[in-house]
């Protein structure tokens, strides 16, 4: 039986327990167009600014959870293997929150699979915790609304709050100290801008992620002299991106995506010690996008990246062949994948195993 101790998280999720069962959930990663970077409360994962992302197509995490009174501890199988210490700890802490809310006392078996490389900078923590939140809450007998699920997923990994929804999603930072008003909401459904494409550029020189984003961002909050200015400018940029998305104003949208990415990179690079997520190959990709836009006289593509070396290059569908060919010619680009706006997280019934 589970006998650990955990901090109460307050009335974060509703209690409508039914009996525990095996439950499965799938969720897609998202790429942030306005980044979440910095928390005012790192236990409840409450951010310093609202953020906005696109949930992507094709990539997904599928997770199955079963609470079992006969288990001596939580078990976590990631892509068919026992999970390493870091991911296991994160999952156990997250399961503790669910057990607390659902009044479940047994340990759980978790089986999770990504259809893309884990911890490769393709946001497996966002899809991972969104899928785990869905599967664990259902397995524990909780019936959560999408908003409640978003609040729960947020506490595993901030960006996971956004992967609960499909299409274009905003995580509103909220003001309350208990986090009840800090959750994501869908802005535009996936079919709002079906022409929009995200060409993911996989670079061959990407290192393993050295430090968790949740820790790295707090170093930025503490030490970057550019961070306060970023917090002042984000609300204006967020409104501008929301507006460009609403009107499908591609030039404006792509320019803003680059501006936000550059601002995010500035606060990372001015963190002490400096956070440098990019490799020489990633930098060549950014340079190629800027050259392309300069030569065209307007924005054809817009780059962004998260806390990793792979680069997401946004463009419109008719431009994909040209943009992709250009990026593939860059030495050190290992692969490109073309993604679009993707679906919301959902419960899955068949185990598929
Ligand atoms: O959700 P976390 O703790 O993995 O942090 C995500 C941080 C960024 O990916 C860089 C930005 C974001 O909003 O997704």
Q: What percent of the chain has pLDDT above 90? A: 87
The predicted pLDDT at position 10 comes to 40
Q: How far is CA 338 from CA 39, 202, 309, 317, 320, in A?
A: 32, 11, 17, 10, 8
Instruction: Please state, in angstroms and rounded to a whole number, the distance separating the CA atoms of residues 134 and 143.
Output: 9
Co-location of 221 and 143 in the same domain:
no
What are the two backbone dihedrals, phi and then psi, of residue 116, each rounded to the nearest 5 degrees?
-150, 165
The predicted pLDDT at position 205 comes to 82
Task: Give the chain's domain count.
Answer: 2
Rounded mean pLDDT, 123-148: 95
The answer, yes or no, to whether residue 224 has pLDDT greater than 60, is yes
Reference 315, options 202, 200, 199; nearest CA is: 199
The predicted pLDDT at position 211 comes to 82
Rounded mean pLDDT, 20-49: 96
Burial code (b: 16+ CB inside 10 Å, e: under 16) for 339-348 equals bbbbbbbeeb
Task: Tell me the CA–centroid distance for residue 121 and ligand 1, in Å.
Answer: 10
The predicted pLDDT at position 123 comes to 62
**Strand boundaries in the chain, DSSP class E:** 23-27, 30-34, 39-41, 46-47, 51-55, 61-68, 75-78, 81-82, 107-114, 168-172, 183-188, 196-203, 302-304, 311-316, 333-339, 346-348
The answer, yes or no, to whether residue 60 has pLDDT greater than 90, is yes
Note whether residue 17 is domain-resident.
no
Kindly report whether the peptide bond that precedes residue 273 is cis, defined as omega within 30 degrees of 0.
yes
- Cβ-count burial of 318 within 10 angstroms (0-12 exposed, 13-18 middle, 19+ buried)? exposed
Note whether residue 1 is domain-resident.
no
The answer, yes or no, to whether residue 119 has pLDDT greater than 90, is no
214 lines ligand 1 (CB under 6 A): yes
Co-location of 41 and 183 in the same domain:
yes
The answer, yes or no, to whether residue 206 has pLDDT greater than 90, is no
Domain that holds residue 270: 196-339
307 lines ligand 1 (CB under 6 A): yes
Indicate the pLDDT class of residue 20, thresholds 50, 70 and 90.
low
Co-location of 87 and 165 in the same domain:
yes
Co-location of 173 and 101 in the same domain:
yes
- 16: tokens are 């409508």
Counting from 1 in the atom list of ligand 1, the atom nearest the Cα of 129 is 1
Q: Are 38 and 130 in contact (CB under 8 A)?
A: no
Burial code (b: 16+ CB inside 10 Å, e: under 16) for 41-69 equals eeebbbbbbbbbbbbbbebbbbbbbbbee
Rounded mean pLDDT, 192-201: 96
Task: Tell me the CA–centroid distance for residue 2 and ligand 1, in Å.
Answer: 31
What CATH number did the domain enclosing 214 receive?
3.30.70.890
161 lines ligand 1 (CB under 6 A): no
Note whether residue 353 is domain-resident.
no
Reference 1, options 65, 75, 67, 93; nearest CA is: 67
Task: Tell me the CA–centroid distance for residue 37 and ligand 1, in Å.
Answer: 7
163 lines ligand 1 (CB under 6 A): no
Which 3 state secondary structure label does DSSP give 321? Answer: helix
The count of C-alpha atoms lying within 13 angstroms of the C-alpha of 137, restricted to the half-sphere facing its C-beta, is 28
Quote the radius of gyration of the chain (alpha carbons, Å): 20
The answer, yes or no, to whether residue 120 has pLDDT greater than 90, is no
Indicate the pLDDT class of residue 11, thresholds 50, 70 and 90.
very low
Indicate the pLDDT class of residue 5, thresholds 50, 70 and 90.
very low
Task: Tell me the CA–centroid distance for residue 336 and ligand 1, in Å.
Answer: 21
Indicate the pLDDT class of residue 6, thresholds 50, 70 and 90.
very low
158 lines ligand 1 (CB under 6 A): yes
125 lines ligand 1 (CB under 6 A): yes
Which 3 state secondary structure label does DSSP give 341? Answer: strand
Q: Please state which of the ranges 67-71, 122-126, 147-151, 184-188 shows the lowest mean pLDDT.
A: 122-126
> Considering the chain, what is the average pLDDT of its residues?
92
Structural element, H or E, at residue 233: helix 227-246
Task: Tell me the CA–centroid distance for residue 51 and ligand 1, in Å.
Answer: 10
Reference 197, options 27, 336, 352, 36; nearest CA is: 336
Task: Tell me the CA–centroid distance for residue 68 and ligand 1, in Å.
Answer: 32
32 lines ligand 1 (CB under 6 A): yes
Co-location of 163 and 214 in the same domain:
no
Rounded mean pLDDT, 234-260: 98
35 lines ligand 1 (CB under 6 A): yes
The predicted pLDDT at position 2 comes to 41
What CATH number did the domain enclosing 175 receive?
3.30.230.10
Instruction: Please state, in angstroms and rounded to a whole number, the distance separating the CA atoms of residues 89 and 92.
Output: 5
Co-location of 111 and 251 in the same domain:
no
The predicted pLDDT at position 21 comes to 86
Co-location of 42 and 181 in the same domain:
yes
Co-location of 58 and 138 in the same domain:
yes
Pocket probe for ligand 1: among 33, 37, 260, the residue whose CB has the most ligand atoms within 8 Å is 37
Q: Are 151 and 182 in contact (CB under 8 A)?
A: yes
Counting from 1 in the atom list of ligand 1, the atom nearest the Cα of 158 is 1
Pocket probe for ligand 1: among 159, 182, 219, 310, the residue whose CB has the most ligand atoms within 8 Å is 159
Counting from 1 in the atom list of ligand 1, the atom nearest the Cα of 160 is 1
Instruction: Please state, in angstroms and rounded to a whole number, the distance separating the CA atoms of residues 311 and 215.
Output: 22
pLDDT one-digit tens code per residue, 265-313: 999 999 999 999 999 999 999 999 999 999 999 999 999 999 999 999 9
Look up the pTM and report it: 0.93
Co-location of 149 and 87 in the same domain:
yes
Instruction: Please state, in angstroms and rounded to a whole number, the distance separating the CA atoms of residues 263 and 256.
Output: 10
Co-location of 49 and 126 in the same domain:
yes
36 lines ligand 1 (CB under 6 A): yes
Q: Residue of the nearest CA to atom 9 in ligand 1?
A: 306
Co-location of 146 and 224 in the same domain:
no
Co-location of 166 and 83 in the same domain:
yes
The answer, yes or no, to whether residue 243 has pLDDT greater than 80, is yes
The answer, yes or no, to whether residue 204 has pLDDT greater than 90, is no
Note whether residue 7 is domain-resident.
no
Q: Euclidean distance between the first and final Cα of the chain, in Å? A: 27
């Amino acid at each position: 039986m589970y006998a650990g101790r955990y901090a109460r998280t307050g009335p974060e999720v509703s209690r409508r327990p039914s009996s525990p069962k095996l439950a499965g959930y799938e969720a897609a990663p998202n790429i942030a167009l306005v980044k979440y970077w910095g928390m005012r409360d790192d236990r409840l994962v409450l951010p310093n600014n609202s953020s906005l992302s696109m949930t992507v197509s094709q990539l997904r995490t599928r997770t199955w959870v079963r609470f079992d009174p006969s288990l001596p501890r939580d078990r976590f199988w990631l892509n068919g293997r026992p999970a390493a210490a870091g991911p296991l700890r994160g999952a156990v802490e997250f399961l503790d929150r669910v057990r607390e809310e659902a009044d479940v006392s047994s340990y759980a078996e978790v089986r999770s699979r990504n259809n893309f490389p884990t911890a490769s900078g393709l946001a497996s923590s966002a899809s991972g915790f969104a899928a785990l939140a869905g599967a664990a809450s259902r397995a524990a007998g909780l019936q959560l609304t999408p908003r409640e699920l978003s609040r729960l997923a947020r506490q595993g990994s901030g960006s996971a709050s956004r992967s609960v929804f499909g299409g274009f999603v905003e995580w509103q930072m909220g003001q309350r100290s208990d986090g009840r008003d800090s959750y994501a909401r869908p802005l535009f459904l996936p079919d709002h801008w079906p022409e929009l494409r995200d060409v993911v550029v996989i670079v061959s020189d990407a290192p393993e992620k050295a430090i968790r984003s949740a820790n790295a961002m707090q170093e930025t909050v503490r030490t970057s002299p550019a961070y306060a200015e970023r917090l002042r400018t984000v609300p204006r940029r967020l409104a501008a991106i929301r507006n460009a998305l609403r009107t499908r104003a591609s030039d404006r949208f792509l320019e803003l995506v680059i501006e936000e990415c550059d601002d995010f990179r500035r606060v990372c690079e001015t963190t002490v010690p400096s956070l440098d997520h990019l490799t020489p190959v990633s930098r060549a990709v950014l340079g190629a996008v800027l050259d392309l836009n300069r030569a065209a006289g307007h924005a054809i593509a817009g780059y962004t990246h998260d806390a990793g070396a792979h680069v997401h290059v946004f463009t419109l569908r008719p431009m994909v062949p040209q943009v992709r060919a250009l990026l593939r010619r860059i030495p050190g680009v290992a692969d490109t994948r073309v993604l679009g706006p993707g679906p919301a997280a959902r419960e899955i019934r068949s185990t598929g195993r």
